[in-house]
Chain A
Amino acid sequence: MPATRNYYAEGPEALIVSLAAKGDRDAFTELLRRRQSWLRNFMRRCCGDEVLADDLSQQLFLQVWRKIRQLREPEKFGSWLQRMAVNLWLQHQRKNDPLWNAEDEANVPPSQQDLAVAMDLDKALAMLPGRERLCVILSYHERLSHGEIVALVDMQPGTVKSHIHRGSRRLQELLSAYGASA
């Protein structure tokens, strides 16, 4: 019904979230429509692989459908979704990346060949060690403050700051062809 669709498309998000929490599938589809861009971009920055990013995004929306009834304040849906996305990514990393906890240069150091590949932001991000990458993404992609990142990823403030600083420097080097200051 077009009228119903318009109602969902124009309704405030908190209301749509409340309806989805009561099992309204059309409301949930509307949330999917509204939030998929943000989530798929976030996951692409995190994993640098479009297929994996979309699969993780779908998994996250499944979790959202299962848990949305637990959300007490529908107006906080955005930050709730963001926290779930970060947690899902952390779980995925812990499960699949044995070097996740490595503090320093965990991934392949950039060679000349890598530098050519690193012209692409996602591939450059993929060259950063896991925690560093996540902190940089949360700072630049999500535009979170250091304090917000600390709260989200359960790291010390000094560690978050140094991850962002070091990660930004590495990205600047890798992406120097784009004009990012090295």
Chain B
Amino acid sequence: MSQDRDSRLESLFADAQQEFVDENFSSAVMNRIEARGRRVLIGRLAIAALLIAFELLMDSPLQNSVGALTEMLGTTLFDIEHEWLAFTLAPVNSIAGLLGLTLVGLHLAYRKFFY
């Protein structure tokens, strides 16, 4: 591919270059970084406080829900008679396994079509 450039335009671009070594610019960026860091910290503290409050309020119902969910995820999809085969397929022969495989499949499909 030809890269022909007009020499006069090239020199105009070169002449337009300015040297910036501006401490104010650097400190403005660092101030914005500090401010963002503070906002993130406050956000995390707020979320932590909410989670603690939620845990205190919902202690018992939450534990019941988590227990039920864990039980549901562990439910086997197919009854396999042979013990060794059931043991081998155990990681995928459950609702959790199915969910995991679906997520991996979706991730691979996303990478294939959108990258």
Interface residues in chain A, defined as those with a beta carbon under 8 Å from any beta carbon in chain B:
25, 28-29, 32-33, 36-37, 40-41, 44-45, 54, 57-58, 61-62, 65, 121-122, 139-141, 145-147, 157, 161, 168, 171-172, 175, 178-181
Contacts and interface: CB of A to CB of B under 8 A. Distances in A.
A146 B13 CA distance: 18
Contacts, number: 81
Interface string B7-18: 011101100111
Nearest to A160: B1
Interface in B1-38: 1-3, 5-6, 8-10, 12-13, 16-22, 25-26, 28-30, 32-33, 36
Contacts of B5: 139-140, 168
B84 to A, nearest CB: 43
Contacts of A168: 5-6, 9
A32 B29 contact: yes
Contacts of A172: 6, 8-9
A179 B18 CA distance: 21
B16 to A, nearest CB: 5
Interface of B: 1-3, 5-6, 8-10, 12-13, 16-22, 25-26, 28-30, 32-33, 36
Nearest to B19: A37
17 contacts: A28-B30, A32-B29, A32-B30, A36-B22, A36-B26, A37-B17, A40-B20, A40-B25, A41-B17, A58-B32, A62-B33, A139-B3, A139-B5, A140-B9, A172-B9, A175-B9, A175-B12
B103 to A, nearest CB: 22
Secondary structure of the B contact surface, majority rule: helix
A58 B20 CA distance: 14
A29 B26 contact: yes
Nearest to A180: B8
Contact of A62 (B1, B22, B36): B36
B18 A37 contact: yes
A121 B25 CA distance: 23
